[in-house]
Structure formats: C-alpha cells, structure tokens
Amino acid sequence: MSNPLLSEVSSSGVPPLTDQLLVLPVGAMEAHGPHLPLGSDLLQAEATAKDLARRVRCVVAPGIPYGVCPGTRGFPGTISISPGTLARLTEDLTEGFYRTGFRKFLILSGHGAAAHMAALREGVGTVVSRHPEVRAAVLCDYEFVYELRGKDAPATDGHAGLLETSRVMALAPEQVGTARPSVEYRVHRSVVGDPSREDWPDSVMGDTRGASAETGRRIHAHVMDRLVETVATIFGGA
C-alpha cells in the first residue's frame, strides 16, 4: 500500500485522489518552556500524520507552522496569528486541494487552543458548505494525549508538561533541552485575558521532572491507536 507525502503524488502510481484522505498537519510557533522547541506542535502533528500514513491510505500535505496562541503570546518566541488569518489560510488550502481532486480532509493540529481550533473549523467549514461532497474533520492529537491525564501524568498536566515533554523526547530527542521545569499554573479558567507572570511564570503547565522517552513512546502509541480508530469511524476505509 502506497502512503505518499503530497510531494510524491503524481499522475500515476497512486489511487485516484478522490479516494484518498488528505491530512494537513497544523502547528504553532509557541514558547514551550526552556526545554522544548518553539515548533513542538508542528513537530508532533507532522510525526503523527506520517505515522498515520503508515497505517491507513492517506496523503500528508506540508504543514502550517503558525497558529493562534492567545495564552502564550506574552512569552518570548511565540508568534501568534489572528483567528481570521488562520481560518482564511485553511479555507484557501483546502479549496486548493479540492481543485487538485481531493474530497476527504483531516486537519490534524498539534496545538489545541480553543480559538485556534475554532479558526480551523471555520476555514474547513466554508469549503464543506461550498462543496457538499466534501467530508472533513478537524481534531487535535492532544485530545488523545490528555486521555492519559491521571494515568501517565497528574490530572493537572498541560502545555509543555510531563506528557508533552515525554512525547517530544520520544519523537525528536535531539531537540529537547536538559532543563526539566516544574510550573504551577494558577489561572482560573473563567478569567478573561492573558495570564499574568505571577499566575503563570513560564510557558509550562506541570512538573516535567519525571518525563522520559519511554513514557513518550507509550503516549504516542496511544495517540496513534486512537487516531486510526477515529479515522476509520469518520472516513471508513480511508
């Protein structure tokens, strides 16, 4: 079974594009503490998409490296774009892939901010409303990672915490620094506006000191099993 990247698709050697699932990885340029790279979200989304292509028939498109990052935009290194910009970019890309021949789309985000996910859904939703034959889904792989809260990490674990640190250690160990921060996130979810440095002193949620590549491999395996199951449910024999 051929599972090509989009750059490898040609007019021969692959099934008709209308039968193929197009996976678009999406990330963010976002601070992840002193130990993880700014591009951690796209790194994880692209690795997940490529692993998915080894298990189901799909084509992986080049990813979107920028996203909507309202909570971390005060930290050095974060480059946050507006929801409208991301929605329009997602719409334009999906429409372009539609003109190429694709009819099934999975927008796979490694960044899960609410405004970011809403923008992705808005952009894809515009294409779906324009072309009713299109079937599309938008999801964040951290929907599956965070199923392991209270199991492989404390229930309060979050952004750049133990789960994410472990996963990046498994996927790209050469990009993980030696620092293992432990940060208490003290912002109530009902508070409006960016968190203060007193309430969130670093762009980390949780204690990363117990992170390990072994834990990361177990986390990523869980994500892949759940993603394959979800793709089968939504798209059938993709």
Q: pLDDT digit string (tens) for 82-123? A: 999 999 999 999 999 999 999 999 999 999 999 999 999 999
Domain presence at residue 43: yes
At 85, which CATH number?
3.40.50.10310
Domain presence at residue 182: yes
Domain presence at residue 5: no
pLDDT > 70 in the chain, percent: 92
Alpha-carbon span 105 to 136, nearest angstrom: 5
**Residue 223 scores a pLDDT above 60:** yes
* Alpha-carbon distances of 54 from 129, 136, 140, rounded to whole Å: 31, 20, 19
Cβ neighbours of residue 145 under 8 Å, at least 6 residues apart?
163, 164, 167, 219, 222, 223
Phi, psi of 33 (to 5 degrees): 70, -170
Domain presence at residue 59: yes
Cβ neighbours of residue 148 under 8 Å, at least 6 residues apart?
163, 219, 222
**Residue 231 scores a pLDDT above 90:** yes
Q: pLDDT digit string (tens) for 127-154? A: 999 999 999 999 999 999 999 999 999 9
CA 57 to chain centre: 20
What number is the average pLDDT over the span 190-197? 86
Beta bridge partner(s), residue 32: 34
Return the number of other C-beta atoms located less than 10 Å from residue 165's C-beta: 33
Total tally of structural domains belonging to the chain = 1
Given this model, what pLDDT does residue 1 score? 40
Domain presence at residue 4: no
Q: Which helix or strand (DSSP H or E) is residue 97 part of?
A: helix 83-100
Tell me which residue range forms the domain holding 135: 15-188+195-235
**Residue 15 scores a pLDDT above 80:** no
Given this model, what pLDDT does residue 238 score? 57
Inter-residue contact 235 to 21 (CB < 8 Å): yes
Domain presence at residue 181: yes
pTM of the model: 0.93
What is the DSSP annotation of 112-154?
Answer: --HHHHHHHHHHHHHHHHH-TT-EEEEEETHHHHGGGBTTTB-
